[in-house]
Amino acid sequence: MEPIVKKWYDYLEEGKIMGMKCKDCGAINFPPISACRKCRSRNLEWVEMSGEGTLLLYSVSSMIPGEKFVSVAPFAYGQVMLKEMCLFSTKIEGVPISSPAEIEKGNQELPAPVKAKIIDGVGGMKVVVFEKI
């Protein structure tokens, strides 16, 4: 088995957001994995993701963010349903976070389309975030 995690982050360095398509059941797995989440098959191939999705909900990490994200908090963190029907959670850009009233207003405008973007993560690797269109 090839190192999947390494390859995914290498793809991000090249500007590509990749997932894995199951050659047996056709499901797209994102993030990639060693066996299909739907049918458990190992018969998977790399595919480029559309980068399109729908932001369902978001809140803000500020009181107890993950330890390595303390220096970049507060930030919006949300749930995105990708066009390929995978649920993904990450930082969300382009949504208001400065007060509870703003977060409430921002959420009232959801679901809304978002577009994937590759940015520098915390720890020297690239990561995927979503930006409200």
Partner 1 sequence: MAKNPYVIGVGMTKFGNILETPEIKDKTFQELLAEAAFEAYDDAGISPEDIDAFLVGNMLPETSMSNSQSTNSSDWLGLRCKPGFHIDTACDTTLTAIGVARDMIMSGRYRNILVVAGEITNSYPDENADFPLKRKPLSPIKLWKWTDYAVDHNFGYQHFYGFDALTGINGLAYMKTNNLSFEEFDRVMLQINKNVRFHAATNPKAFLYEKGTLEEEAQREGFSSVEDYWKSEKNPFLAWPVRRKSGLTTADGASAIILSSEPEKYTKKLPIEVSGFGYATYNWPWDGSAEVIAFKDSYAMAGIKPEDIDYLSVHDCLQIAHLNTSETAGYFKKGEAWKAILDGRTRFNGDKPMNTSGGRGGVGHAFEASAGADTYEIVKQMRGEAGERQIKKPIRVAVQHNAGYALHIAVAVYKPGK
**What phi and psi values does residue 52 have, to the nearest 5 degrees?**
-100, 145
Residue 129 as a binder of partner 1 (CB under 8 A): the answer is yes
Contact 97, 60 (CB under 8 A): yes
Residue 5 as a binder of partner 1 (CB under 8 A): the answer is yes
Alpha helices in the chain (DSSP H): 4-13, 100-108
Contact 123, 71 (CB under 8 A): no
Residue 19 as a binder of partner 1 (CB under 8 A): the answer is no
Residue 54 as a binder of partner 1 (CB under 8 A): the answer is no
Number of residues that bind partner 1 (CB under 8 A): 40
The pattern of x and - marking residues 59 through 98 that bind partner 1 according to CB under 8 A reads: xxxxxxxxx-xx-xx-xxxxx------xxxxxx-------
Distance CA 125, CA 53 (A): 23
Q: Which residue has the tokens 């932001």?
A: 55
Q: Which stretch binds partner 1 (CB under 8 A): 15-23, 45-53, 118-126?
A: 118-126
Binding site for partner 1 (CB under 8 A): 5, 8, 31, 57-67, 69-70, 72-73, 75-79, 86-91, 100, 103-104, 107, 121-123, 125, 127-129
